[in-house]
Amino acid sequence: MKNEKIPYVNLSKQWKKERKILLKIIDNVILNQDWVGGDEIKKFEKNILKFTNTKYAVALNSGTDALTIGLALIGVRKGDEVITTPNSFIASAASIVHLGAKPIFVDVKHDQNIDTSLIENKITKKTKAIMPVHLTGRMSDMSQIIKLSKKYSIPIIEDAAQAIGSKYKKKPAGSFGKVGCFSAHPLKNLNAIGDSGYMVTNDKKIYEQAKQLSNHGLKNRNNANRFGYVSRMDTIQAAILNYRLKKLDKTIKRRRENFKYYSNYLDPKNIYFPIEEKYQFNTYHTFVVQTKNRNNLKQYLLKNGIGTAIHYPIPIHLQKSSKNLNYKKNDFINTEKQANQILTLPINENLNKNDIITISNLTNQFFKK
């Protein structure tokens, strides 16, 4: 067996492919002196609507700030509760905590997304939002969440950081909630060359307020209705994203093809991964398998030149930062079990069929030993 080096991601490969064009784009932005705001930002806010099927978008500096501003604008305040999952990146909960609210965690299903059958029991008078996380680029079970949202008049805010272009029953991520929040962190499917994020909504008021809140709270040059933040997307990043947006469909297509190869070549006897349901269109930000032998498999793949990752080894409720939230071990059985069993295999758009076969064969071989 040949020892091919397949890193988990390869950002410099992406850069080398685009370098000539991007350097020119960056140079243009700098020469135009549009360093903050400007045409590229406006263009980005228009371009992204095609992928989210919403009316408005706000370019921001991170997915985390998109969540924070989104939560603030749907009215989450000190003492409120927001229902979400402990099986996510730490920022989902951090954005809630920073507004003085409490994340009310709900366990996940086998597919790592929120178990909607457990949500209703957690709704109280203090519940001000439901925040599903579309982990791995697979949408949460939105039908159920929408039903609850309507029944109790609680707005939905989507943590769609990993899910640009993903769909549920043909409807795109970000178009279900009052607000949809996305990240363009370098590791996301649509990635900047630094931190970036964006928020989408169909609500004009929320859009206008988000624009202001992300820009010092300024309504215009000299008037502020409220104190705001500095959460604007850098113009350079917007220009880069505008270029990369043209390739997003292809990126998603390549990742979906790679998933198909994994489905064909991975022996499912010893590992589990969710299939793609008919009503889903997954974008495979990550490809996560579950196995009791995770740590040894990770070692074995690394020894054979395959880079992998774990998203995420410590559930949010068990992080030190969550101490004051008063959760404990065994509170969320599936989340905790998955934390020990999940392994993210490389699936990025730069990998081809042969790469996926190599990884699959090595994985199958590991279990035969």
Q: Which residues contact ligand PLP (rule: CB under 6 A)?
A: 62-64, 88-89, 91-92, 133, 159, 161-162, 183, 185, 195, 197
Residue showing tokens 């928020």: 199
- Residue 148: partners with Cβ closer than 8 Å, 6 or more residues away: 116, 119, 120, 123, 130, 154
DSSP helix/strand/coil, 198: strand
Residue 137 or 155: the one with the smaller Cβ distance to ligand PLP is 137
Residue 154 or 184: the one with the smaller Cβ distance to ligand PLP is 184
Tell the smallest beta-carbon distance from residue 175 to ligand PLP (Å): 18
Tell the smallest beta-carbon distance from residue 157 to ligand PLP (Å): 11
Quick one: how far is CA 181 from the chain centroid?
8
Tell the smallest beta-carbon distance from residue 60 to ligand PLP (Å): 9
Tell the smallest beta-carbon distance from residue 125 to ligand PLP (Å): 27
**What size, in residues, is the chain?**
369
* DSSP 8-state code for residue 345: E
Cα(365)–Cα(129) distance, integer angstroms: 46
Residue 6 or 91: the one with the smaller Cβ distance to ligand PLP is 91
Tell the smallest beta-carbon distance from residue 24 to ligand PLP (Å): 26
- By Cβ distance, which residue is nearest to ligand PLP? 63
Tell the smallest beta-carbon distance from residue 139 to ligand PLP (Å): 13
Residue 189 or 363: the one with the smaller Cβ distance to ligand PLP is 189
Residue 62 or 127: the one with the smaller Cβ distance to ligand PLP is 62
Residue 233 or 266: the one with the smaller Cβ distance to ligand PLP is 233
Among the listed residues 82, 72, 70, the one whose alpha carbon sits nearest the alpha carbon of residue 316: 82
How many other CB atoms are there within 10 angstroms of residue 128's CB atom? Answer: 21
Tell the smallest beta-carbon distance from residue 23 to ligand PLP (Å): 24
Residue 63 or 177: the one with the smaller Cβ distance to ligand PLP is 63
> 195 near 236, Cβ under 8 Å?
no
- Residue 113: partners with Cβ closer than 8 Å, 6 or more residues away: 85, 132, 133, 134, 135, 138, 139, 140, 141
Residue 22 or 133: the one with the smaller Cβ distance to ligand PLP is 133
Residue 68 or 341: the one with the smaller Cβ distance to ligand PLP is 68
DSSP helix/strand/coil, 159: strand
Tell the smallest beta-carbon distance from residue 92 to ligand PLP (Å): 5
> 259 near 344, Cβ under 8 Å?
no
**What number of CA atoms fall less than 13 Å from residue 294's CA on the CB side?**
21
Among the listed residues 342, 340, 318, 273, the one whose alpha carbon sits nearest the alpha carbon of residue 86: 318
* DSSP 8-state code for residue 78: T
Asked whether the CA dihedral 25, 27, 31, 35 is positive or negative, the reply is: positive
Tell the smallest beta-carbon distance from residue 91 to ligand PLP (Å): 4
Among the listed residues 273, 277, 263, 318, the one whose alpha carbon sits nearest the alpha carbon of residue 294: 273
Tell the smallest beta-carbon distance from residue 41 to ligand PLP (Å): 17
**Distance between the two ends of the chain, CA-based, in angstroms?**
15
- What is each CA distance from 186 to 160, 279, 292, in whole angstroms? 15, 29, 30
Residue 161 or 252: the one with the smaller Cβ distance to ligand PLP is 161
